[in-house]
Amino acid sequence: MGDLIKLALLLAEFASGQRGRQATGHAARIAVTAVAGACCGVAAIACALVALWLYVLPQVGPTGAPLVVAGVLLGMCLALFALVQYGFRPRPPPAAGVAPSVLIAEATRLLNENKGTVLLAALLAGLVAGSRGK
């Protein structure tokens, strides 16, 4: 939670240097929305864990239910740890001597693999761009 607040302050500082009060207000609204979303996400996970506890209580008893919930939390912790260790590593930049045809072929391959995501992003970008004029 502290990291989100630091990020919000950094965004506010960055925005105030560019466009003044309007950008600072916009960055503050984004920060408040991000913090509220994070709080809602934590509350949703807590509610799901309580529901799991109540669901398994009749099957495994009063000592087994906390162990099941602890196992689920441990699994989530290990998944997040793996994400931090392997998912957020900086990727090396492409070599300077790479031919443009290789880069185009790689971009085409990535586009084919993620076609749905790219189309959804283009649709959302078009909706946002179209709604700004109204």
Domain that holds residue 118: 99-129
Residues 71 and 106 in one domain: no
93 within domain boundaries: no
Nearest CA to 95 out of 106, 79, 84, 85 is that of: 106
pLDDT digit string, tens, across residues 36-82: 888 888 999 999 999 999 999 999 998 899 999 999 999 988 888 88
Q: How far apart are CA 20 and CA 111, in angstroms?
A: 38
Q: How far apart are CA 62 and CA 12, in angstroms?
A: 48
Residues 13 and 60 in one domain: yes
Please state whether the predicted TM-score (pTM) of the whole model is above 0.85.
no
pLDDT digit string, tens, across residues 70-126: 999 999 888 888 887 887 777 777 666 667 787 788 888 888 888 888 778 877 777
112 within domain boundaries: yes
- Total domains present in the chain: 2
The three-state secondary structure class of 41 is: helix
